[in-house]
Structure 1
Amino acid sequence: MSWLRKKRVLLLLFIGFTAILFLSTNWMTWFYPIHYKEDIRRHSITYEIDPFLVAAIIRVETNFKTGRESKKGAIGLMQLMPDTAKWALEMAKLPDVSLEELKHEPSANIELGTWYLSSLSRQFDGNRTAVIAAYNAGPGNVKKWLEEGSWDGMEGTVKDIPIGETRHYVQRVKHYYDQYTEIYNEF
């Protein structure tokens, strides 16, 4: 009988501890963390981009892990293609950094990626869904789809994006964006 009583007490303590933990903290941040908040915040303000969008793209691209290089050659937290990175560095007139620095230095990669998102946002008149698609497939492809009418650029028609990888990418970024904006009151 004593053994059963100890199990009940332990179970009640566990349930109580769990309830307190969940009620007193924003426990969803455990499942949807945002790293490099200061860098994201600073560069988002500078380039007038929603910081939650930057965080969602980083989450999908690398899950906030530095030093990544994709099979296609994209580098760093925001997985910038080397040619895009070189072009963006020139256009943004940012201090020249090497591709190796972009690969391993979070702040430099976030700044360049955020500038690039800002550039895409201007190209697509602030259409966040088209910006996300262009970040993945390139602005030329997205412009072609819009001109041909194969996709209208709207969030409700993401299923019509001609490239499956981009379609899935937009859905994933949108999912994390929605989670972040719901969980975090402010950035």
Structure 2
Amino acid sequence: MRWLRKKRVLLLLLLGFILVLFLNSAWLSLFYPIYYKDEIRYHAGNNDIDPLIVAAIIKVETNYKPGAESKKGALGIMQIMPDTAKWVIDKAKLEDVALDRVKDESGTNIRIGTWYLKSLSNQFDGNMVAVIAAYNAGPTNVKNWIKSGRWDGRLETTKNIPFGETRHYVQRVSHYYEQYSNIYENL
């Protein structure tokens, strides 16, 4: 009987240790790391965008892999389309930014991506769910969905987003945002 009691105590201690490990955010950050923290913090701050939204978008777009280029031609860790990058460079008057740097320079990519997110946030009155959808599907599509009543711009109704890719994208970005919010008190 004594050995059974000792095993129970050891099992409870082991379970308690495992529980503490998984409830500790420092441990969880190993499963949900954020890279380019300084660049994300700086450019998100300059554009009044939650840095954890930026991190979640980067996680979904490229998993922080620099120099990425999609089959459709989206560039860099935030997967910015060249026409969008040109538009941002022009509208934001980023005279020190060249289009050929967007793909390989993560800081430049984050700078353009966060400015674009701020522009989308202005268009959608700060509705970050609609902003995330527009980042993927384009603002015109999202405005049309909302105007027609097809989608109301809420996370709870993402099933109504007509594009499956965008529906899945919004859900994934929201998932990573939630995880990052639980792990990182501030970025």
Bin for the TM-score computed over the shorter chain: 0.7 to 0.9
User: Judging changes above 3 Å, is the alpha-carbon distance between structure 1 residues 141 and 27 closer, same or farther for their aligned structure 2 residues?
Assistant: same
How many Å separate the matches in 2 of 1:175 and 1:154? Answer: 14
**Counterpart amino acid of residue 146 in structure 1:** I
Report Cα offsets for 1:137-166 as digits up to 9, x if no partner. 000000111111111111111110000000
**Counterpart amino acid of residue 39 in structure 1:** E
How many Å separate the matches in 1 of 2:169 and 2:110? Answer: 19
* Count of residues in correspondence between the two structures: 175
Partner of 1:147: 147
Report Cα offsets for 1:97-139 as digits up to 9, x if no partner. 3333110101100010000000000000000100000000000
Residues 7-46 of structure 1 mapped to structure 2, 5 A cutoff: 22=21, 26-46=26-46
Partner of 1:66: 66
Alpha-carbon deviation of 1:89?
Answer: 0.5
Partner of 1:49: 49
Report Cα offsets for 1:77-109 as digits up to 9, x if no partner. 100000000000100111343333110101100
Q: Which runs of 4+ in 1 moved over 4 A?
A: 18-21
User: Judging changes above 3 Å, is the alpha-carbon distance between structure 1 residues 184 and 102 closer, same or farther for their aligned structure 2 residues?
Assistant: same
How many Å separate the matches in 2 of 1:81 and 1:89? Answer: 12
**Counterpart amino acid of residue 97 in structure 1:** V
How many Å separate the matches in 2 of 1:19 and 1:179? Answer: 19
Partner of 1:77: 77
User: Judging changes above 3 Å, is the alpha-carbon distance between structure 1 residues 150 and 79 closer, same or farther for their aligned structure 2 residues?
Assistant: same
How many Å separate the matches in 2 of 1:24 and 1:180? Answer: 13
Equivalent residues of 2:25, 2:183 under 8 A apart: no
Residues 66-145 of structure 1 mapped to structure 2, 5 A cutoff: 66-145=66-145
What TM-score do you get using the length of structure 2 for normalisation?
0.87
How many Å separate the matches in 2 of 1:95 and 1:76? Answer: 19
Partner of 2:179: 179
**Counterpart amino acid of residue 153 in structure 2:** G
**Counterpart amino acid of residue 65 in structure 2:** K
How many Å separate the matches in 2 of 1:38 and 1:164? Answer: 33
What TM-score do you get using the length of structure 1 for normalisation?
0.87
Equivalent residues of 2:40, 2:51 under 8 A apart: yes
How many Å separate the matches in 1 of 2:182 and 2:52? Answer: 10
